[in-house]
């Protein structure tokens, strides 16, 4: 039996605030946020991400954000490119439709998490997936303060 091909899977992490969140979050939110993370999965020499336009792909580092701020090695996968495309299209029709984008509940990091688990069985680092809840908790606190 021939050894299966293993394709590396990488996670590209971008800080959308370009460092501003780290500096301003204590003032604005009351807690320290290291960044506003946007992630994408790079596999089969393509970068896949979920945004307002649905699931999209581009050459690695080819988005407007430029090169990633950090790269996380997720693992490797046997999933072929064709199979991956099938999987993405099924996702794109179900969970990650274009209109299903929700900045807190169903965002790019949600997608990346799903895909990473499919490809490798591993999740993406928790500091990325916990970001919405962190922000929301601060906002709740703030709104509660305002209400008083």
The answer to the question of residue 2 lying near another protein (CB under 8 A) is: no
Stretch that binds another protein, among 34-42, 44-52, 83-91, 137-145 (CB under 8 A): 83-91
Among 12, 14, 48, 96, binds another protein (CB under 8 A): 96
Establish whether 108 is a catalytic residue: yes
Among 79, 128, 131, 135, binds another protein (CB under 8 A): 79
Output the CA torsion sign for 8, 60, 95, 37: positive
Establish whether 58 is a catalytic residue: no
The answer to the question of residue 120 lying near another protein (CB under 8 A) is: yes
By beta-carbon proximity to another protein, the closer residue of 78 and 130 is 78
Least separation in angstroms between CB 8 and another protein: 11
The answer to the question of residue 118 lying near another protein (CB under 8 A) is: yes
């Amino acid at each position: 039996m021939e050894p299966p091909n293993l394709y590396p899977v990488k996670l590209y992490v971008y800080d959308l605030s370009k460092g501003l969140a780290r500096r301003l979050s204590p003032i604005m939110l009351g807690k320290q946020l290291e960044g506003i993370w946007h992630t994408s999965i790079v596999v089969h020499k393509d970068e896949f991400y979920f945004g307002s336009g649905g699931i999209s792909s581009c050459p690695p580092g080819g988005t407007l954000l430029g090169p990633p701020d950090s790269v996380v090695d997720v693992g490797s996968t046997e999933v072929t490119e064709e199979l991956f495309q099938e999987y993405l299209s099924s996702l794109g029709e179900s969970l990650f439709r274009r209109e299903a984008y929700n900045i807190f509940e169903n965002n790019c990091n949600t997608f990346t998490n799903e895909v990473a688990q499919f490809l490798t069985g591993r999740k993406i680092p928790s500091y990325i997936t916990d970001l919405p809840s962190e922000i929301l908790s601060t906002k709740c606190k703030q709104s509660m303060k305002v209400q008083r």
